[in-house]
Structure 1
Amino acid sequence: MTPDDPLLKILACPLDKGPLLLLVQQEAPRSAEALYNPRLHRRYPIVDGIPQLLPSSGEQVTDEEHEELLRRTAS
């Protein structure tokens, strides 16, 4: 998934129905992708190109992680 993927415009958080940010982590042995809801501090994994958008699939992030994720998406 890329930041300009049209699918990103229609995907929404299953909890608050708001938009999600795409996160791509290049530091891992292979790149990891996730969708992030900055309003609820929840991260949803993308597994084999498929967003896992069940409420139970979301992971709560700490305040420190939240700040780091926002810095990463801003750059």
Structure 2
Amino acid sequence: MAIDHELLKILACPEDKGELLYFEDENILYNPRIRRAYPIREGIPVLLISEAEAVTEEKHAELTRR
């Protein structure tokens, strides 16, 4: 389920307050600055620091190439 474009414009990382990148195919919002991926569950972004996953160097490179 895609997230509304208007909602994406106002969402921010809870950790550094910066912009997040949306990857619909991965169901994540990604912060490349701190390499954290926030899950999207049932169309709802879960922007809790405790729910974020650290992203490996390889995965970071893959995501930022897109």
TM-score (norm 2): 0.90
Unaligned 5+ segments in structure 2 are: none
**Percentage of pairs with the same residue:** 58
Q: Partner residue of 2:15? A: 15
User: Is 1:39 aligned to 2:64, yes or no?
Assistant: no
Q: Partner residue of 1:62? A: 56
Q: How many residues align?
A: 65
Question: Displaced runs of 4+ in structure 1, greater than 2 A?
Answer: none
Unaligned 5+ segments in structure 1 are: 26-31
- The structure with the larger Rg is 1
The amino acid of 2:43's aligned partner reads G
Task: Provide the rounded CA distance (Å) in 2 between the counterparts of 1:44 and 1:15.
Answer: 11
Q: CA deviation at 1:24?
A: 2.1
Q: CA deviation at 1:71?
A: 1.4
TM-score (norm 1): 0.80
- CA displacement, residues 28-49 of structure 1 (integer Å, 9 cap, x when unaligned): xxxx411000000000000000
Task: Provide the rounded CA distance (Å) in 2 between the counterparts of 1:47 and 1:5.
Answer: 17
- How well do the aligned residues superpose, as a CA RMSD in angstroms? 1.3
